[in-house]
Every structure is written in structure tokens, then in C-alpha cells.
Amino acid sequence: MLTAWDALSASLVEEAGADVVLVGDSLAMVSLGHSTTLPVTLEQMLLHTQAVCRGFSNPPAEQPLVVTDLPFLSYQCGLDRAVAAAGTLIKQSAAAGVKLEGAEPEVLSVIERLVRTGIPVMGHLGLLPQAVHSLGYRRQANDPRSQERLLQQAAELESAGCFAMVLEHVPSELAGRVRQHLAIPVIGIGAGNDCDGQVSVTADLLGLTPSQPPFSPARMDGRGLSVKALRSWLDDQRQQPPPPTTPPAPPEPHC
């Protein structure tokens, strides 16, 4: 699973062969310039999800599965509001499911309601970017008590109807236990290799962002290569001789 945030990035991950494309709220940082995922709005998530879906070129049956994030405060303020938010993303784009974070009782109620409504839901445990002010970006579930709690939450997400789950920045041994404990796919990011699948932020893999998380190193210096190519073009233009000055044509004689 790879992320995409516009038509261009969607075409790249489709051609690369991604099975699932996540329109993550990470686009708040990658595309919109925010320092966290919190400011992105539902309207912006819809706009970017529509752009991603337009970026695919294969026939619909051969396109990657598209899952889009429900942004902060779109599902934490009541069941009806959550259904309306998720329904907006599903109804007005080609996304096939939504992803939301956490497994608190209120979130589980939202998941159950969405699934009953016919909206597939992907869960998300471990490091929760929408809870950055309380959890930070550090690795989660490092002690036995928090690990048992995460295992319980994972089971609750499955029982609530999630079709898959993202497990972010937790010990690899714990990720393996979660995978063995559940029947639904566990997709890791910074959670080791003992998962059913892996997800990464495409901009991090391409080296387009100024820095990458330790569990997702860049596969190329995309930022450096891009700057070099653009600078080369600019240098070429600045070194071009000015166009010759053409003297104005003499005026037509009057009869």
C-alpha cells in the first residue's frame, strides 16, 4: 500500500504496481505545508481523493483499491456526523473505503455504524498522527501493559467490522502477535516485517520530503534530483543570449 495525494502521484503508484492506494491525511504535510495532519479538512480530503482517482489509467477493475482517511474531528463528534463525512468521501469519489484512527468506545461505535451503513472501514492503531499532541511521534506500545491493551483494541476493531488494520511504529514482535491474533489483514508501517502487508508515504520513499521517519528511509534523492534538473534549466535560460533587436519598420508613405 502506497499513499497518493494528487493525480500525478496516483499515476506513479499505479504504474509501480501498488495493490492499495491510501489517500492519507499525511497530504496535510506533504502537499499543503502543515506541520501535522490535524488542519486538513473534509473538503480538502474529498478534493484530493477525487484527484487521485482521476490519476489512474487502467480499467476500473484493474485499478488499485482506494482508501481515504477521515480527517480529525470528522468522526469524533457524533455518529451522524461521522456517517455524513464518510458518506461524502465514498459517494463523491471512487474510494472504496475509509480509514480512521484509534479504538476508543466512541470510535468503535462509529465503525459499527459505518459498516452497517455499507461503508468499509480500515482501522489504525499504534502511533496515531491525529493524537500527536498527546502521543507524539515516538514508538508506541513498548511495555507489556500497553501491548496487551493494543492486542485487545485490535480484536475490538475486528469485531466492530474493520476489513483491515494499519499498525504504525510498534515493536515488530507485537505486530506479529497482532497478525496471528486476527483474521483480517494487518498492514505495518514501522512495525517490522511480520505483517500481512506494508504501507509507506510515497513522498518519503521518493526522497521528496526534507526528512523521512526512521522506519521509512528514502529510496532515492528525489528532492536533490528535482532541484538539480530545475536549476539546470534555469541556468540554461539565464545564459541564453538576448534575442536580436529588430529595428522598427519605416512608416508607410502618405499619398
Pinpoint the alpha helices (H) of 161-205: 172-181, 202-205
Name the catalytic one among 14, 43, 168, 173.
Answer: 168
Dihedral, CA atoms, 53, 57, 63, 68, nearest 10 degrees?
Answer: -20
Tell me whether residue 168 is one of the annotated catalytic residues. yes
* 92's grid cell: 463523491
CA separation for the pair 133, 90 (Å, rounded) = 29
Pinpoint the alpha helices (H) of the chain: 7-16, 27-30, 42-54, 79-91, 105-117, 132-135, 144-160, 172-181, 202-205, 222-239
The amino acid at 88: T
Active-site positions? Answer: 168
